Amino acid sequence: MTTPDTPLENHVTGATVWLTGLPSAGKTTIAYELAGRLREEGRRVEILDGDEIREFLSAGLGFSREDRFTNVQRIGFVAELLASHGVTVLVPVIAPYADSREAVRKRHEAASTAFVEVHVATPVDVCSVRDVKGLYARQAAGEISGLTGVDDPYEAPEAPDLRIESQNQTVQESAAQLHALLTERGLA
Protein backbone atom coordinates (compact mmCIF):
# COMPACT_ATOMS: atom_id res chain seq x y z
CA MET A 1 0.00 0.00 0.00
CA THR A 2 1.37 3.42 -0.87
CA THR A 3 1.31 6.38 1.47
CA PRO A 4 1.78 10.06 0.70
CA ASP A 5 5.43 9.65 1.71
CA THR A 6 6.09 6.95 -0.89
CA PRO A 7 8.49 8.18 -3.60
CA LEU A 8 6.01 7.09 -6.25
CA GLU A 9 3.51 9.64 -4.96
CA ASN A 10 6.10 12.40 -5.34
CA HIS A 11 6.40 11.69 -9.06
CA VAL A 12 2.94 11.71 -10.57
CA THR A 13 3.82 13.48 -13.81
CA GLY A 14 3.93 10.98 -16.62
CA ALA A 15 5.48 11.48 -20.03
CA THR A 16 5.93 9.75 -23.34
CA VAL A 17 9.53 9.53 -24.49
CA TRP A 18 9.48 8.58 -28.17
CA LEU A 19 12.80 7.20 -29.44
CA THR A 20 12.83 7.18 -33.25
CA GLY A 21 15.61 6.06 -35.56
CA LEU A 22 16.69 3.45 -38.05
CA PRO A 23 16.62 -0.30 -37.34
CA SER A 24 19.58 -1.21 -35.07
CA ALA A 25 20.14 2.45 -34.12
CA GLY A 26 20.07 1.59 -30.41
CA LYS A 27 16.55 2.80 -29.52
CA THR A 28 15.49 -0.23 -27.50
CA THR A 29 18.85 -0.66 -25.79
CA ILE A 30 18.81 2.97 -24.63
CA ALA A 31 15.17 2.63 -23.51
CA TYR A 32 15.92 -0.38 -21.33
CA GLU A 33 18.98 1.30 -19.81
CA LEU A 34 16.97 4.42 -19.00
CA ALA A 35 14.04 2.37 -17.67
CA GLY A 36 16.30 0.68 -15.13
CA ARG A 37 17.59 3.99 -13.89
CA LEU A 38 14.12 5.53 -13.65
CA ARG A 39 12.76 2.50 -11.78
CA GLU A 40 15.62 2.74 -9.29
CA GLU A 41 14.44 6.30 -8.64
CA GLY A 42 10.91 5.08 -7.91
CA ARG A 43 9.32 5.96 -11.25
CA ARG A 44 6.59 3.88 -12.83
CA VAL A 45 7.95 2.99 -16.27
CA GLU A 46 6.63 1.04 -19.23
CA ILE A 47 8.39 0.27 -22.49
CA LEU A 48 6.26 0.00 -25.61
CA ASP A 49 8.69 -1.84 -27.87
CA GLY A 50 7.85 -1.61 -31.56
CA ASP A 51 8.42 -5.32 -32.23
CA GLU A 52 6.16 -6.40 -29.35
CA ILE A 53 3.45 -3.94 -30.37
CA ARG A 54 3.51 -5.27 -33.94
CA GLU A 55 3.10 -8.82 -32.64
CA PHE A 56 0.22 -8.13 -30.25
CA LEU A 57 -1.51 -4.77 -30.79
CA SER A 58 -0.90 -4.35 -34.51
CA ALA A 59 -0.94 -7.96 -35.69
CA GLY A 60 -2.17 -8.10 -39.27
CA LEU A 61 -0.76 -4.73 -40.28
CA GLY A 62 1.79 -4.67 -43.07
CA PHE A 63 4.48 -2.13 -43.83
CA SER A 64 2.69 0.17 -46.26
CA ARG A 65 2.72 3.85 -45.41
CA GLU A 66 -0.91 3.60 -44.27
CA ASP A 67 -0.27 0.56 -42.06
CA ARG A 68 2.80 2.18 -40.55
CA PHE A 69 0.72 5.29 -39.79
CA THR A 70 -1.97 3.16 -38.12
CA ASN A 71 0.65 1.30 -36.08
CA VAL A 72 2.22 4.53 -34.84
CA GLN A 73 -1.18 5.99 -33.93
CA ARG A 74 -2.08 2.89 -31.92
CA ILE A 75 1.19 3.08 -30.04
CA GLY A 76 0.69 6.82 -29.50
CA PHE A 77 -2.78 6.24 -28.08
CA VAL A 78 -1.55 3.66 -25.56
CA ALA A 79 1.48 5.79 -24.66
CA GLU A 80 -0.64 8.88 -24.01
CA LEU A 81 -3.12 6.88 -21.95
CA LEU A 82 -0.38 5.47 -19.73
CA ALA A 83 1.49 8.79 -19.48
CA SER A 84 -1.70 10.60 -18.49
CA HIS A 85 -1.84 8.25 -15.48
CA GLY A 86 1.65 9.11 -14.24
CA VAL A 87 3.69 6.51 -16.10
CA THR A 88 6.90 7.34 -17.90
CA VAL A 89 6.41 5.57 -21.22
CA LEU A 90 9.50 4.81 -23.29
CA VAL A 91 8.65 4.13 -26.92
CA PRO A 92 11.52 2.75 -29.03
CA VAL A 93 9.81 2.64 -32.42
CA ILE A 94 11.17 3.42 -35.90
CA ALA A 95 8.10 5.54 -36.84
CA PRO A 96 9.65 6.52 -40.18
CA TYR A 97 7.21 9.27 -41.20
CA ALA A 98 7.21 12.76 -39.72
CA ASP A 99 3.44 13.19 -40.11
CA SER A 100 2.66 10.14 -37.98
CA ARG A 101 5.04 11.28 -35.22
CA GLU A 102 3.54 14.79 -35.38
CA ALA A 103 0.02 13.36 -35.01
CA VAL A 104 1.15 11.55 -31.85
CA ARG A 105 2.73 14.75 -30.53
CA LYS A 106 -0.52 16.65 -31.18
CA ARG A 107 -2.55 13.97 -29.36
CA HIS A 108 -0.31 14.48 -26.34
CA GLU A 109 -0.51 18.28 -26.56
CA ALA A 110 -4.32 18.15 -26.78
CA ALA A 111 -4.38 16.08 -23.59
CA SER A 112 -1.70 18.24 -21.88
CA THR A 113 0.51 15.17 -21.57
CA ALA A 114 4.29 15.58 -21.80
CA PHE A 115 5.87 14.28 -25.00
CA VAL A 116 9.60 14.12 -25.70
CA GLU A 117 10.88 13.17 -29.15
CA VAL A 118 14.36 11.67 -29.24
CA HIS A 119 16.14 10.99 -32.51
CA VAL A 120 18.63 8.18 -32.12
CA ALA A 121 20.60 9.45 -35.10
CA THR A 122 22.85 6.49 -35.81
CA PRO A 123 24.05 6.46 -39.45
CA VAL A 124 22.79 3.65 -41.66
CA ASP A 125 26.33 2.30 -42.19
CA VAL A 126 26.74 1.85 -38.42
CA CYS A 127 23.26 0.31 -38.12
CA SER A 128 24.02 -2.15 -40.92
CA VAL A 129 27.15 -3.32 -39.08
CA ARG A 130 25.23 -3.75 -35.82
CA ASP A 131 22.36 -5.47 -37.71
CA VAL A 132 20.80 -6.74 -34.48
CA LYS A 133 17.97 -8.61 -36.23
CA GLY A 134 19.79 -9.47 -39.46
CA LEU A 135 17.54 -7.17 -41.50
CA TYR A 136 20.32 -5.40 -43.38
CA ALA A 137 21.92 -8.71 -44.37
CA ARG A 138 18.54 -10.07 -45.51
CA GLN A 139 17.85 -6.90 -47.52
CA ALA A 140 21.31 -7.05 -49.14
CA ALA A 141 20.67 -10.70 -50.06
CA GLY A 142 17.37 -9.73 -51.71
CA GLU A 143 15.30 -11.68 -49.17
CA ILE A 144 13.33 -8.64 -48.01
CA SER A 145 12.52 -5.18 -49.33
CA GLY A 146 11.09 -2.08 -47.73
CA LEU A 147 13.84 -1.74 -45.13
CA THR A 148 13.55 1.67 -43.52
CA GLY A 149 16.50 3.88 -44.38
CA VAL A 150 17.72 1.60 -47.18
CA ASP A 151 14.98 1.05 -49.76
CA ASP A 152 12.11 2.63 -47.83
CA PRO A 153 12.09 6.22 -46.56
CA TYR A 154 13.00 7.45 -43.11
CA GLU A 155 12.13 11.07 -42.41
CA ALA A 156 14.49 12.15 -39.65
CA PRO A 157 13.03 14.61 -37.15
CA GLU A 158 13.99 18.17 -38.05
CA ALA A 159 13.80 19.51 -34.49
CA PRO A 160 13.73 16.67 -31.96
CA ASP A 161 13.88 17.46 -28.26
CA LEU A 162 17.13 15.50 -28.18
CA ARG A 163 19.42 13.98 -30.79
CA ILE A 164 21.57 11.06 -29.64
CA GLU A 165 24.49 9.88 -31.77
CA SER A 166 24.82 6.44 -30.25
CA GLN A 167 27.87 5.56 -32.31
CA ASN A 168 29.86 8.21 -30.41
CA GLN A 169 29.01 7.21 -26.83
CA THR A 170 28.15 4.24 -24.63
CA VAL A 171 24.60 3.12 -23.94
CA GLN A 172 25.00 4.42 -20.39
CA GLU A 173 26.08 7.83 -21.68
CA SER A 174 23.14 7.94 -24.09
CA ALA A 175 20.69 7.05 -21.32
CA ALA A 176 22.31 9.62 -19.01
CA GLN A 177 21.96 12.30 -21.68
CA LEU A 178 18.25 11.52 -21.99
CA HIS A 179 17.82 11.31 -18.21
CA ALA A 180 19.38 14.78 -17.89
CA LEU A 181 16.83 16.20 -20.34
CA LEU A 182 13.95 14.59 -18.47
CA THR A 183 15.29 15.92 -15.18
CA GLU A 184 15.64 19.41 -16.65
CA ARG A 185 11.99 19.29 -17.72
CA GLY A 186 10.77 17.97 -14.36
CA LEU A 187 9.92 14.56 -15.81
CA ALA A 188 12.47 12.47 -13.91
Q: What is the pLDDT of residues 68-119, one digit of tens each?
A: 999 999 999 999 999 999 999 999 999 999 999 999 999 999 999 999 999 9
Structure confidence at residue 8 (pLDDT): 44
With 0-12 / 13-18 / 19 or more C-beta atoms within 10 angstroms meaning exposed / middle / buried, residue 107 is middle
With bands split at pLDDT 50, 70 and 90, how would you rate the model's confidence at 2? very low
With bands split at pLDDT 50, 70 and 90, how would you rate the model's confidence at 1? very low
- For residue 150, give every residue at least 6 positions away whose Cβ sits within 8 Å of its Cβ, in sequence order, or none: 124, 128, 136, 139
Structure confidence at residue 10 (pLDDT): 47
**pLDDT tens-place string over residues 145-179:** 989 999 999 999 999 999 999 999 999 999 999 99
**Residues 37/43, Cβ–Cβ less than 8 Å:** no
